[in-house]
A and B are shown apart, each in its own frame.
Chain A
């Protein structure tokens, strides 16, 4: 897979991130926070620096998990190419704010589990290793992650919402989610010919903004 080379977050950014995570951790009374045990430079692509709710590293982790839930590459785009993480981030900064602390805690614990088991942050692991970690998570069997099964259900739904919702909400970039399943998007009307085609549709791809 052609991944963008991880950027490096400066030490100062990292300190801020750690401080924020620490405060949330103290409030929730749970350990195992993202970044808090990692003395190494932190991977994150530049476009993940300006997220609204997630830290850049959390964004990178959500993106990496999303890329295993709905995998892809530039030729066959998946959740990463759809920018699903931007959908999730905007949702967590608004209508899904109630999930933010759940994300913060679980993402930290998942990353800590990856480092403990494989001595690397989750985002740097091989895809097959990531899959086996997520498989364990989805069964509630990833050591050190509390309520992992329920968190996996949550993030799975949010990632897929970011793949299949209109781009106005931040994901489904270039309509790659809809193109993958052969859905052209919203139209004010559909013709009889189109309804009885018994073949792939011949409508142009459209989004709400095109209406």
Chain B
């Protein structure tokens, strides 16, 4: 039984069906496909971006509050969870990273680097609850590799078996952890925005590189599952859109075609799971409503939750599954920090290019900037960092609100600004790494319900000192790159704003070694209900300064492998090997 057929569910369904298991996947959304939904309508910004057709707000809306004493209000904005076959992997950007070795052991890394330094006092004061993952990069590297081959991830290798930048002297991420072999193909070319960002970064002595991307590039490509797809055409409708060309790697484009023909696999769409039925500490069935509103009960032996973090956590809590009080805790998402610039002398045409056609630098991510950070006064010191990159896909309907604070938001002056500068605009991505805190969590909202009468998922998320200091620091570094590249008018918020959803919404059912301080074991198996597994970002103890999707797929391969090879005991979560 798989609840939700999205990014995280894809590898689980494929691997279990391949192993001869009988797999039923219940997906709340419809089966949108290349042929019927994305062929011509894909490039309609109003439908997919502005009106966010793939997102089911009435049924899956959130409530939000910034501290646990406030009353949460419905979250008016959208969020990343696409309600569609393939889930958010259908409309994601396609920026695809492996987390670093260090990202799996943040607690240990901080101890080793800073010891009990008084520099860390702000973390204790704010209730930071940093734990290592119960798995190591070395253990999961083969599963990252599997994602690159099965889904299709392109990039320049930064580190093959310890050799830094082995392919070309100036390409690849020199900070990445060792990979066992090269990417299957290369990332997109650089567009004007990328070239200008590179100039700035190189002038500062940084090592920019093109980010790894989940798009087929340069001719057609056949995956390890035998699925052939065509190369990206740079049409630039990516983040928020389904790819009409099938070039973007997703559960829909890369995994479903290999899964749907397997005899044990059944996909039911329009099926909204409202409850997990359980008895004597084991799940026995799920209750769901079909597209006609008719309620069904589906029995099963093993239950994998493959919906988005918010929905997985909500379903567990609503079903009364939280034996150890850990479900919903240590929610993580990124605070919003924005940085914008105008290049008066250069026409960049930022609308032309997939959002992930993007150069970036890693010098300020993780603890890569520790020398710089140690020079900061104690009251500015922070741990972890951010990726800084140069996205494109600056379509007018997505970008008309971007203007400096001294330009009014309407009228002649607004129009003069926008018409003169939209094509000279570059906004940087500052992908900061927030920390887990004792009081940041998901739970059931006591007063707001969805259409099915289920309590909404309530998000409690506070921005703490570490996030504010980090935002200030990386904002200044991004500004330096922009200035070095020739930007003249630079604006944005060097602060960090709390949000219900940053599109990277993780934690809430974190994995760990201690059954009293985590929700699942190292194989994503609930400590308190051993035949229930949580796939997806909810199991992440820390979030890394990298986009999480490749790690989410990796974890799904990892947990599927544990089930197929019998590494887990379906009656006892502590008896794994």
The stretch of B44-52, B137-145, B168-176 in contact with A is B44-52
B411 touches which of A68, A165, A192, A208 (Cβ 8 Å): A68
Which residue of chain A has the shortest Cβ distance to B43 in the bound complex? A186
Contacting residues of chain A (114-152) with chain B, CB-CB under 8 angstroms: 131, 134, 138
Taking the closest CB of chain B, its distance from the CB of A29, in whole angstroms, is 24
B191 CB–A CB distance under 8 Å: yes
Report the interface size for chain A: residues with CB under 8 A from the other chain. Answer: 42
User: A40 on the interface (CB 8 Å rule)?
Assistant: no
Verify B411–A168 contact, CB threshold 8 A. no
Please tell me which one of the listed residues A168, A196, A211 contacts residue B192 in the complex, with CB atoms under 8 A apart: A196
Q: Does the CB pair B233–A189 fall under 8 Å? A: yes
Contact across chains for B189 and A69 when beta carbons are under 8 A apart: no
Q: Do residues A189 and B410 form an inter-chain contact, with CB atoms below 8 A? A: no
Contact of B46 among A72, A78, A165 (CB under 8 A): A165
Are A71 and B411 closer than 8 Å at their CB atoms?
A: yes
Residue A201 at the chain B interface, CB threshold 8 Å = yes
Inter-subunit contact B396/A181 (CB<8 Å):
yes
Bound CA span A209–B397, Å = 18
* Complexed CA–CA distance, A161 and B397 (Å): 7
Interface set, chain B 415-459, CB cutoff 8 A to A: 415, 418-419, 422-423
> Is B349 on the interface with A (CB-CB < 8 A)?
yes
Could you tell me the distance between the alpha carbons of A17 and B415 in the complex, rounded to whole angstroms?
A: 34
| A126 CB to nearest B CB, Å | 14
A195 close to B397 (CB less than 8 A): no
**CB distance B396 to A69 under 8 Å?**
no
Q: How far is the CA of A105 from the CA of B10 in the complex (A)?
A: 49
Cα–Cα, bound, A156→B245 (Å): 34
List the A side residues contacting B423 at CB < 8 Å.
181-182, 200
* B346 interface hit (Cβ, 8 Å): yes
Pairwise interchain contact B235-A190, C-beta atoms closer than 8 A: yes
CB-defined contacts of B397 to chain A, threshold 8 Å: 161, 164-165
B121, CB-defined interface residue at 8 Å: no
Contact present for A182 and B191 (CB under 8 Å): no
CB distance from A208 to the nearest CB of B (A): 6
Q: Which of B189, B347, B396, B409 contacts A164 (CB 8 A)?
A: B396
Q: Are A186 and B396 in contact (CB under 8 A)?
A: no
The distance in angstroms between the C-alpha atoms of A156 and B401, with both chains bound, is 11
Name B349's contact: one of A95, A165, A197 (CB within 8 Å). A197
Residues of chain B in range 339-362 having any CB-CB distance to chain A below 8 Å: 346-349, 351-353
Nearest opposing residue in chain B for A191, CB measure: B234
Shortest CB-to-CB span from A206 to chain B, Å, is 10
Are B415 and A166 interface neighbours, CB within 8 A?
no
Nearest chain-B residue to A68 (Cβ)? B411
What is the chain B residue whose CB lies nearest that of A134? Answer: B410
Instruction: List, in ascending order, chain B residues with CB within 8 A of A201's CB.
Output: 349, 352
B237 and A70 within 8 A (CB): no
From A160, A168, A182, B422 is in contact (CB under 8 Å) with A182
Q: Which of B40, B236, B410 contacts A211 (CB 8 A)?
A: B40
The complex places the Cα of A138 from the Cα of B414 at a distance, in Å, of 15
User: Would B352 and A195 count as touching, CB distance under 8 A?
Assistant: yes
Contact A161 B50 (CB under 8 A): yes
- Report if B395 contacts A (CB, 8 A): yes
Contact for B40 among A134, A156, A181, A208, CB less than 8 A: A208
Q: Which A-chain residue is minimally distant from B394 (CB atoms)?
A: A183
Q: B412 at the A/B interface (Cβ < 8 Å)? A: yes
B195 at the A interface (CB under 8 A): yes
Does chain A have a CB within 8 A of B400?
yes
Q: Given the complex of chains A and B, what is the CA–CA distance between A183 and B203 in angstroms?
A: 31
Give CA–CA (A177, B43) in the complex, Å.
Answer: 17
* Given A180-B419, A208-B40: A160 and B400 interface contact (C-beta under 8 Å): yes
Cα–Cα, bound, A190→B244 (Å): 15
The answer, yes or no, to whether A194 is at the interface (CB within 8 Å) is yes
Give Cα distance in the complex from A187 to B192, angstroms: 18
Give Cα A156 to B408, complex, Å.
12
The proximity string for B residues 28-60 relative to A, scoring 1 for CB distances below 8 Å and 0 otherwise, is 000000000000110111100011000000000
Taking CB atoms, residues of chain B closer than 8 Å to A156 are 409-410
Q: How far is the CA of A161 from the CA of B195 in the complex (A)?
A: 31
Considering the complex, give the chain B residue whose CB is closest to the CB of A152.
B410
Name which of B349, B395, B397, B411 has the most chain A CB atoms within 10 A of its CB.
Answer: B349
Q: A161-B50, A190-B235, A195-B353 are in contact. Are A78 and B192 (CB under 8 A)?
A: no
Q: How far is the CB of A125 from chain B (nearest CB, A)?
A: 15
Q: Inside 8 A of A168's CB, which chain B residues have their CB?
A: 44
List chain A residues, Cβ under 8 A from B410: 68-70, 134, 138, 156
B56 to chain A, nearest CB (A): 15
Residues of A within 8 A of B418 (CB): 180-181
On whether the beta carbons of B396 and A189 are closer than 8 Å, the reply is: no
Q: Would B412 and A71 count as touching, CB distance under 8 A?
A: yes
Q: Nearest chain B CB to A170's CB is how many angstroms away?
A: 10
Contact call B415/A71, Cβ cutoff below 8 A:
yes
By the criterion CB–CB under 8 Å, are B415 and A190 in contact?
A: no
Q: Are B45 and A195 in contact (CB under 8 A)?
A: no
Closest to B348 in A: A198
Q: Is A169 an interface residue (CB 8 A)?
A: yes
CB pair B192 A181 closer than 8 Å: no
Q: How far is the CB of B545 from chain A (nearest CB, A)?
A: 28
Partner of A166, one of B45, B189, B234, B347: B45
Asked if A69 contacts B411 (CB within 8 A), the reply is: yes
Closest to A192 in B: B189
Residues of B within 8 A of A194 (CB): 349, 352
- Kindly identify which residue among A165, A177, A200 contacts B50, using a CB–CB cutoff of 8 Å: A165
Q: Which of B244, B396, B400 has the most CB of A within 10 A?
A: B396
Q: How many angstroms between the C-alpha atoms of A180 and B422 in the bound complex?
A: 10
B352 with A200: CB separation less than 8 A: no
Q: How far is the CA of A70 from the CA of B244 in the complex (A)?
A: 32
Whether A182 touches B349, Cβ cut-off 8 Å, given contacts A161-B397, A200-B423, is yes
Cβ–Cβ contact A200 & B347, under 8 A: yes
Contact pattern, A 69-111, Cβ under 8 Å of B = 1, otherwise 0: 1111000001000000000000000010000000000000000
25 contacts between A and B (CB under 8 A): A68-B411, A70-B414, A72-B415, A161-B397, A163-B400, A164-B396, A164-B397, A164-B400, A165-B50, A180-B415, A181-B419, A181-B423, A182-B423, A187-B235, A188-B233, A190-B233, A190-B234, A190-B353, A191-B234, A195-B353, A198-B347, A199-B347, A208-B41, A208-B44, A211-B40
Give chain A's interface residues, CB within 8 Å of chain B: 68-72, 78, 95, 131, 134, 138, 156, 160-161, 163-166, 168-169, 177-178, 180-183, 186-192, 194-201, 208, 211
Across the A-B interface, give the 8 residue pairs with the lowest CB-CB distance, nearest first.
Answer: A189-B233, A186-B43, A165-B46, A195-B191, A164-B397, A181-B422, A69-B410, A190-B234
Q: A164-B397, A181-B396, A183-B422 are in contact. List 17 more A-B contacts (CB 8 A).
A: A68-B410, A68-B411, A69-B411, A161-B397, A163-B400, A165-B46, A166-B46, A177-B396, A181-B418, A188-B245, A189-B233, A192-B189, A195-B189, A195-B192, A195-B349, A196-B195, A208-B44
